[in-house]
Amino acid sequence: MKKLITTTLIIIFLVSTAMSQVFDGVSISGDFNTALQKFKSKGYVVEETFPEGAILSGKVASTKIEVFLFKTPKTHKVFKASVYLPKKDNWSDLKYQFDSYHNLFLEKYGKTSDRFQFFSSPYYDGDGYEMQAVEKEKCTYSSYWSNLDGASYSVEITKYRQVKITYENDELFKLKDKEASDIKSQIF
């Protein structure tokens, strides 16, 4: 019962913050360095930085999560955040977590833009080797909601046995592409 309550709290928190274009009180469309400082002040730890962004670890409703923040190359605006939920050891728990978020986003945003739920050969749901399929990237479970008030969302199962929830600011994603193109043209 405690696990169900914790999962429910995480789902409510992630969806409500994504809807306001904010994750845990930090704007997904703001300045990258400011976002990092705000996450740090909330107890998140910056695990790694790289030219395109940073990886942070923290907690939501007492559950450890990882947040990947991505920034535009020149103006350093946060255009994307991916939240990785805890790894699961068995298919039923992983699928339950995916289905919970998929259904919640379905209620909030309506019909998906795209949805995929299948295993690639030789795997199939019910064969007892689902987690092996997940790790070998032979499991495709993903749902996408695009262009909703300037934002796009996705819920996916990753090869790391985790559910990943992604928020993208559509306008800043285009800016990222433009800035990357500008940089590339300056090099050549």
Q: Please provide the average confidence, as pLDDT, over all residues in the chain.
A: 89
Among 62-66, 94-98, 146-150, 184-188, name the one with the lowest average pLDDT: 184-188
Q: At what angle do helices 91-109 and 2-19 cross, to 10 degrees?
A: 40
Report pLDDT digits (tens) over 82-106.
999 999 999 999 999 999 999 999 9
Sequence-ordered list of residues with C-beta below 8 angstroms from that of 156, at least 6 positions apart, any chain: 98, 141, 142, 143, 163, 164, 166
The residue-averaged pLDDT of 123-152 equals 95
pLDDT value, residue 18: 42
Apex 118 CA angle, 128 and 154, nearest 5: 120
The residue-averaged pLDDT of 167-179 equals 92
Q: At residue 72, does pLDDT exceed 80? A: yes
The residue-averaged pLDDT of 122-127 equals 96
Give the whole-angstrom CA distance, residue 36 versus residue 125: 40
Q: Where are the alpha helices (DSSP H) in the chain?
A: 2-19, 32-41, 91-109, 130-135, 170-187
Report pLDDT digits (tens) over 34-47.
999 999 999 999 99
Query: pTM for the complete prediction?
Result: 0.85
Q: Computed over its alpha carbons, how large is the radius of gyration of the chain?
A: 17
Asked if 44 contacts 58 with a C-beta cutoff of 8 angstroms, the reply is: yes
Give the whole-angstrom CA distance, residue 164 versus residue 82: 6
pLDDT value, residue 15: 45
pLDDT value, residue 13: 45
pLDDT value, residue 157: 98
Sequence-ordered list of residues with C-beta below 8 angstroms from that of 157, at least 6 positions apart, any chain: 94, 95, 98, 134, 139, 141, 142, 163, 164
Structure tokens at 29: 């469309």
The torsion angles phi and psi of 76, rounded to 5 degrees, stand at 55, 50
Structure tokens at 90: 């068995």
> Measured on CA atoms in the order 68, 32, 51, 167, is the torsion positive or negative?
positive
